[in-house]
Amino acid sequence: MKKKEEELKKDFERNLENALKISLRFLKFRPRTKKEVIDKLKSKDFGLEIIRKTVEELEKMGFLDDEKFAFDWVNERFNFKMLGKKKVIAELKRKGIKDEIIEEAISNFYTPESELENALEFLTKKFAKLKEIEKEKLISILVRQGYSFSLSGKAVDVYLSKKALSD
């Protein structure tokens, strides 16, 4: 009986080591959320206890931090991709980030004023060279970028009036 327990313990430790190796390789390319790591390990047929222990270890080592991930994700999406709040929230939800973490991360970047500025910057960068652009088309592009319909309409109005003044 003692020998059987030792074998089970060795198997568990070997599986845990393999799960950690797979997770670290997965995390090597970019930061991931807990859900992404869990999904990866499930796809490799690891048991729930191995997955739980692996996630616990990765958190202790500082490789998994959903709050930091959310903050960094929102920062990148807001400042570099110029996405609207709705799209960023949907992305974070898909990645398994909890609503309260999303709210906190979003509130660090998105205000009605900053989101309007971002939408205007997006329009300016993407459409500066075009002479004729339909208002409805611009609004729909902004909505697809994750901006609300009302903010999109406001941003397009401001953008087109500025464009008319500069032409």
Over residues 2-16, the pLDDT tens digits come to 666 777 777 878 888
Report pLDDT digits (tens) over 13-67.
888 899 999 999 999 999 999 999 999 999 999 999 999 999 999 999 999 999 9
- Burial pattern 120-145, b for ≥16 Cβ within 10 A else e, equals bebbeeebeeeeebeeeebbebbbeb
Percent of the chain with pLDDT over 90: 81
pTM > 0.75: yes or no: yes
Cβ 66 vs Cβ 84: under 8 Å: no
Residues making up the chain, counted from first to last: 167
**Phi, psi (rounded to 5 degrees) for 68:** -65, -40
